[in-house]
């Protein structure tokens, strides 16, 4: 059998702002079908790394390859083709407040495909059902939605073009524990049913414990990548403080029931 190749390869990434070095040789790979978590303290460059992986920021050194295509040297036209292969949700949803849910979800499709209205309507219905939203939500504006519904609309929009990869930026931030848990289950359901590969930036320990196959921790301008079990066992001071503090109970509980093994 042929070896499984990584879907995303990050190699020797350096990001700096003036004299401040945020990343100094960050490297890791994301395998097909996994949920890959990225975590780190304030100022560790989680968002900068995500933007680099999305092709929204060119690193000062190093490369990012998605499905075997190096994106760091691409022009805008080439990058547009790659961007069709992934979907993104941002921390606060980033929905257009002047547009309805229907318009927000179908916007990416209307920009790249010439579909008639009935086809767009069928796609909209499928995406809303896929993320657990009622069809009557289509006519509402973002201001009329709960925080959890906004997250689901953003997810429906990210899935509009049938991406192979899903990037999630703090997907459960601002949600109550019940809504956050439901969103975690939705992420796993979508991963399994659509065979997605998911890269997730999060500070939510519960989400890490429930969903992530491996975790990348940004510390000291580098990265440590391991299974959740391996990360929890790491002796790095920041990791010890983060994963073994009072808020680390979910991770330790997950170890106890076999999650992260």
- For residues 124 and 141, give the distance between their C-alpha atoms in angstroms, rounded to a whole number: 15
Q: Say what the pLDDT of residue 247 is.
A: 59
Q: Each residue of 121-159: pLDDT tens digit?
A: 898 999 999 999 999 999 999 999 998 899 999 999 999
CA nearest 104: which of 131, 81, 78?
A: 131
Strands 165-169 vs 197-201: parallel, antiparallel or unpaired: parallel
Token pair of 40 as six digits: 């780190």
In a domain? residue 214: no
Runs of H (alpha helix) within the chain = 46-53, 76-83, 101-112, 117-130, 147-158, 177-194, 205-211, 228-233, 237-244, 249-256
In a domain? residue 244: no
In a domain? residue 174: no
Q: How many domains would you assign to the chain?
A: 1
CA nearest 43: which of 76, 66, 20?
A: 20
pTM: 0.89
Q: Say what the pLDDT of residue 261 is.
A: 36
In a domain? residue 119: yes
Q: Which range marks the domain in which residue 106 is found?
A: 94-162
Q: Each residue of 162-175: pLDDT tens digit?
A: 999 999 999 998 88
Q: Say what the pLDDT of residue 251 is.
A: 54
- For residues 74 and 195, give the distance between their C-alpha atoms in angstroms, rounded to a whole number: 27
In a domain? residue 155: yes
In a domain? residue 150: yes
Cβ neighbour number for residue 150 with a 10 Å cutoff: 22
In a domain? residue 237: no
Which run of H or E residues covers position 168? strand 165-169
Q: Say what the pLDDT of residue 84 is.
A: 87
Token pair of 47 as six digits: 């968002």
Contacts for 194 with CB less than 8 Å, ≥ 6 apart: 159, 162
∠ CA 239-169-33 to the nearest 5 degrees? 85
- For residues 12 and 28, give the distance between their C-alpha atoms in angstroms, rounded to a whole number: 9
Regions in the chain scoring below 50 on pLDDT: 258-261
- For residues 41 and 86, give the distance between their C-alpha atoms in angstroms, rounded to a whole number: 26
In a domain? residue 258: no
């Amino acid at each position: 059998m042929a070896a499984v190749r990584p879907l995303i390869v990050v190699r020797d990434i350096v990001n700096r702002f003036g004299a401040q070095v945020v990343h100094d040789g960050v490297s890791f790979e994301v395998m097909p079908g996994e949920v890959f978590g990225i975590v780190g303290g304030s100022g560790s460059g989680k968002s900068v790394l995500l933007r680099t992986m999305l092709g929204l920021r060119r690193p000062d050194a190093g490369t990012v390859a998605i499905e075997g295509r190096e994106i760091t040297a691409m022009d805008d036209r080439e990058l547009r083709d790659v961007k069709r292969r992934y979907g993104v949700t941002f921390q606060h949803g980033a929905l257009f407040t002047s547009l309805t849910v229907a318009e927000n979800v179908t916007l990416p499709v209307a920009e790249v495909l010439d579909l008639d209205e009935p086809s767009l309507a069928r796609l909209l219905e499928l995406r809303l059902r896929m993320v657990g939203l009622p069809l009557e939500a289509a006519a509402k504006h973002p201001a009329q939605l709960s925080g959890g519904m906004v997250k689901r609309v953003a997810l429906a929009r990210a899935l509009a073009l049938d991406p192979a990869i899903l990037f999630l930026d703090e997907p459960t931030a601002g949600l109550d524990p019940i809504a956050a848990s439901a969103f975690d289950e939705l992420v796993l359901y979508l991963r399994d049913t659509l065979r997605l590969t998911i890269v997730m930036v999060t500070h939510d320990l519960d989400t890490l414990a429930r969903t992530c196959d491996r975790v990348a921790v940004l510390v000291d301008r580098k990265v440590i990548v391991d299974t959740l079990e391996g990360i929890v066992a790491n002796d790095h001071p920041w990791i010890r403080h983060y994963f073994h503090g009072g808020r680390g109970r979910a991770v330790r509980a997950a170890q106890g029931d076999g999650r992260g093994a």
